[in-house]
Homo-oligomer: A and B are copies of this chain.
Amino acid sequence: MPFTPRALALPATVPFVGPEALERRFGRPFVARLGANESVFGPSPKVAEAMARAAAESWAYGDPEHHDLKAAIAAHHGLTPENIVVGEGIDGLLGLLVQLTIDPGDAVVTSLGAYPTFNYHVNGRGGRLDFVPYRDDREDPEALAARAQEIRPKLIYFANPDNPTGSRHDRQTVERLMEGVPDGSILVLDEAYADLAPAEALPEMSRLDPKVLRFRTFSKAYGMAGVRVAYAVGTPETTRHFDKVRNHFGVSRMAQAGALAALGDQGFLSETVGRIAAARDRLAEIARENGLTPLPSATNFVAIDCGRDGAFARAVLDGVLARGVFIRMPGVAPLDRLIRVTVGRDREMDLFAQALAGSLRDLAGA
C-alpha cells in the first residue's frame, strides 16, 4: 500500500467523539446537548436569512477569495483583508498551519490537556509534541515561554480563554507571551472564546506580529458551529502562505454569507454574550449546590471540579450521560478531576441540575 509509514502508524482515535455517536450507542437522543461548547442560543435571525438566500444560490461555488467576508472581518477589527485568512473552522486553519510549518520531527509546544485537535493535526504531520503542565488549572504562559526558548519549537499553542478549563489570562500576560516568541516560532493564539471574554483579557487586534497568528471563530458566541467558518489574523508575511495550500472552494457559500451577516449584527452578539454570562452564573450555582467547585469561566462553558480523582469525575460524567445530558471532560490528569458543561437555556440547565444531582446521589449510595 502506498500510505506513508507515518500515516500507517497514526492511531484511529479521533479528537472528539460526537454526541450523535453516543446517542447511537445509548439508543436514544440526548435531552440536552451541553458537551461541545456550541451555543444553544443560536445565530442571529439575520444569519438565518442570509444563509437561506445563499442556499438558493448554492448551485454555484462560493467566492474562493472570500473577498466580502475578509473585508468585513478586517473592517470589524480595524485591519486590512491581507491580515485575514478565512477557513473551515479553526480546526481547518490549524491543519493548514501545521501543513505549512511542520516537517516530521519538528517540535511543537503546548499545554498538557489543551486542545486535542491541534495535537491531532501535529501528529498527523509527524510533529513532535512537547507538553508544559497546567498550573492551578490555567495554562502557564511563563512556563510555555521558557520551554519555547529552550527547544525553539515551530509552533507554540496557547488558548485565551482556555478550553477545557474556561480560564483566561490578562492582556499584559498574553502580550508578554507574544513578545517572547523565539525567532523561527509562531505563537498559535487560539481565541475561539474571545467574544465571551472581558476586554482586559485580549491584546488589541492592531498589535500585529509576524510571529503570532490569532484564531477567531463563528462557532462559539456567534452560534454557528455547524456552519464551519473561522479566521486567522496575522501579518501578510505570515497569512499569505495559507493561499498556497488551502482548499480554495472549501468555505461554503452559506458559510460566507452567514458569517458576513453575523458580523453585521453585533447587537445580537452582545445579547448572546449577556445570556451566556447569566447561564454561566447559574451553572456555577448548580455546581455549588451539589457540593462541587465551579472554576471561573470566560467562555460559554464551566469546568466543574469534582474534587476527587479522574475515575470519580468519569463516574459523575457517566451518570450525567446516562440521564440523557451530553457533557464532556478532559482526558488528562490533573485536569481529569473536572467535568466540562456548556451553558444552555433554563430548561437545559434544569436538566443538567437534575442529572448531576442524580449522578452524585448514585455515587454516594454506591
Residues of A within 8 A of B (CB): 1-4, 6-8, 10-12, 14-18, 20-21, 24, 33, 36, 38-43, 48, 51-52, 54-65, 67, 88-89, 91-92, 95, 99-103, 117, 124-125, 154-155, 184-186, 210, 219, 223-228, 237-238, 240-241, 243-245, 247-255, 258
Contact = CB atoms under 8 A, between A and B. Distances in A.
B224 A249 contact: no
A324 B39 CA distance: 43
Given A42-B59, A65-B18, A250-B228, A244 B7 contact: yes
Contacts of A238: 1
Contacts of A95: 247
Nearest to A252: B228
A175 B249 CA distance: 31
Residue among A64, A67, A117, A219 with max Cβ neighbours from chain B (10 Å): A64
A296 to B, nearest CB: 25
30 contacts: A1-B186, A2-B184, A2-B185, A3-B101, A4-B101, A7-B100, A10-B245, A12-B243, A14-B64, A14-B243, A18-B65, A21-B63, A38-B59, A38-B60, A43-B58, A57-B226, A58-B225, A58-B226, A58-B258, A59-B223, A88-B88, A89-B247, A95-B247, A99-B124, A124-B244, A124-B245, A226-B252, A226-B253, A227-B253, A228-B252
Contacts of A36: 60-61
A84 to B, nearest CB: 16
A7 B242 CA distance: 9
A10 B249 contact: no
Nearest to A257: B226
A210 B1 contact: yes
A226 B89 contact: no
B250 A91 contact: yes
Nearest to A125: B99
B247 A227 contact: no
